[in-house]
Amino acid sequence: MTVRVVALGSSLCLLLSACTGTAKTHTERCPVTAAASLGWGTPNRLDNFDGPSSLPDWIVYDGPGHAGNGRRTPGAMSVTDGMLTITGDSQGNSGGMGWLPGQLHGRWEACVRSSIAPAAYHSLVLLWPDAEDWPAGGEVDFMEIVDPARQQVEFWLHWGPGGAKQSTKVTVDATRWHSYAVEWTSSHLIYYVDGEPEWLITDPNLLPPRPMHLCLQLDYFGGDTGGGAQQWVDWVRQYDLKGESS
């Protein structure tokens, strides 16, 4: 589904300064990853959400929610016990953030789980164009969870000025921790869950034309909010492509 990133606000660092708690080790939460299985090497950027962020470039959304539904607010974001929590409430207030600047081609991976929630709340990990030129700049949703039971995960690709799109889905118990990853090169996109390739795009005409950055979002699409929703992120990592300019 199209997820327009709007109204970027204050740095996440402001939200993390009071973080406390003892975390599980990050390998306990997501022991199987694409990076380890495929030998991606050392990330060029990472955040383990162990406390105050080591990166100054997380941008937290502060403004209208998806398609004007509810509001994206920094108050929806918190970090405790070694993980980021995004909370959507019964009023449609939720949150998200972008990891800028992005890069042209690369690999991204995130360790995530989601609460059972109304279908109105979409849990997402995606790539968004640095130029903010959606839809021409493309959109790569390598985790979108709509199923209220959180037992299916969707993958989406958006491209072109007309906003063309295609998708597929896999059966995953997303209430448990899983690693979600994407590899983007000049010739293909590969979407992964727990190190296993799940979807391959090889038409170069569909691939994003410009640098993209990682976004973590819990989006309210309108309708029944039920008791709200939560999305937890243990860590995120970004990699260059070996042998190809990023």
Burial (0-12, 13-18, 19+ Cβ within 10 Å), 188 = middle
Dump pLDDT digits (tens) for 158-185.
Answer: 999 999 999 999 999 999 999 999 999 9
Q: Which of 2-16, 52-66, 213-227 has the lowest mean pLDDT?
A: 2-16
By the 8 A CB rule, do 5 and 133 touch?
A: no
| Structure-token match 């383990």, residue found | 48
Q: What is the pLDDT of residue 232?
A: 98
pLDDT tens per residue, range 30-74: 999 999 999 999 999 999 998 755 455 689 999 988 988 889 999
Q: Is the pTM for the entire model greater than 0.75?
A: yes
**Do β-strands 45-47 and 71-72 pair in parallel, antiparallel, or remain unpaired?**
unpaired
Within a 13 Å sphere around the CA of 185, how many CA atoms are in the beta-carbon half?
11
> Can you give the chain as a three-state secondary structure string?
CCCCCCCEEEECHHHHCCCCCCCCCHHHHCCCCHHHHHCCCCCCEEECCCCCCCCCCEEEECEECHHHCCEECHHHEEEECCEEEEEECCCCEEEEEEEEEEECCEEEEEEEEECCCCCCEEEEEEEEECCCCCCCCCEEEEEEECCCCCCEEEEEEEECCCCEEEEEEEECCCCCCEEEEEEECCCCEEEEECCEEEEEECCHHHCCCCCEEEEEEEEECCCCCCCCEEEEEEEEEEECCCCCCC
Mean of per-residue pLDDT scores for the chain: 88
Q: Which amino acid is it at 137?
A: G
pLDDT at 165: 98
Average pLDDT score over residue span 113-118: 97
Which residues are paired to 193 by β-bridges?
180, 196
User: Residue 53: what pLDDT?
Assistant: 59
Give the contacts of 25 (CB within 8 A, at least 6 positions apart). Answer: none
76-113 pLDDT per residue, tens: 999 998 999 999 999 999 999 999 999 999 999 999 99
pLDDT > 80? residue 240: yes
The pLDDT score that the predictor gives to residue 25 is 63
CATH 2.60.120.200 is held by the domain 8-21+37-239: yes
pLDDT at 24 (0 to 100)? 58
Q: Can you give the residue ranges of every domain in the chain?
A: 8-21+37-239
* pLDDT reported for residue 20: 38
User: For residues 225 and 92, is the Cβ–Cβ distance under 8 A?
Assistant: yes
Q: How does pLDDT run across 118-155, given as a tens digit for each residue?
A: 999 999 999 999 999 999 999 999 999 999 999 999 99
